[in-house]
Amino acid sequence: MIAFTVTLHFKSVWCMFLVSAILGFFMTGYLPLGFELAAEISYPQPEGTSAGLLNASAQIFGVIFTFGGSAIIDSYNSLSANLGFVGALVLGSVLTVLIKADLRRQSAEKNTNNANNETKQLNQI
């Protein structure tokens, strides 16, 4: 995002397309990680519930950031708006790192697999 902010001042279209493609490529990889983490920490709730809440919050924050960014661009400049977006991304990354990784779904699957293995061993005796 910082590279995108810097390329705004160069006013080079090909550079803007390149940086936008790179930004989209790496930010899109963040989505499945978020969905998996939400499914893990919200287990035993269905995955659809956490996915729906994440999608709804993404839409709400998208609208807020769009209107907020437009207001900042009108009042100040695009650099200020993009620096605000960078700050939001950094804050989101820090909050993601601080989430306690309580992998409930994996623990439940591991316990189920262990119980199935014990049952198979008892049946073999």
Average pLDDT over every residue of 98-113: 76
If one compares 106 and 38, the residue with the highest pLDDT of the two is 38
CA distance 112 to 94: 33
Total domains in the fold of the chain: 1
Residue range(s) defining the domain that contains residue 92? 2-124
For the whole prediction, is pTM greater than 0.85?
no
CA distance 59 to 50: 14
Pick from 41, 45, 8, 10: nearest CA to 23: 8
Least confident of 14-18, 40-44, 65-69, 113-117: 113-117
Average pLDDT over every residue of 29-35: 83
Q: What is the DSSP string of 5-16?
A: HHHHHHT-HHHH
- In the predicted model, is pLDDT for residue 11 greater than 80? no
The predicted-structure confidence for 60-99, as pLDDT tens digits, reads as follows 999 999 999 999 999 998 888 988 998 998 998 898 888 8
The predicted-structure confidence for 43-54, as pLDDT tens digits, reads as follows 888 888 989 999
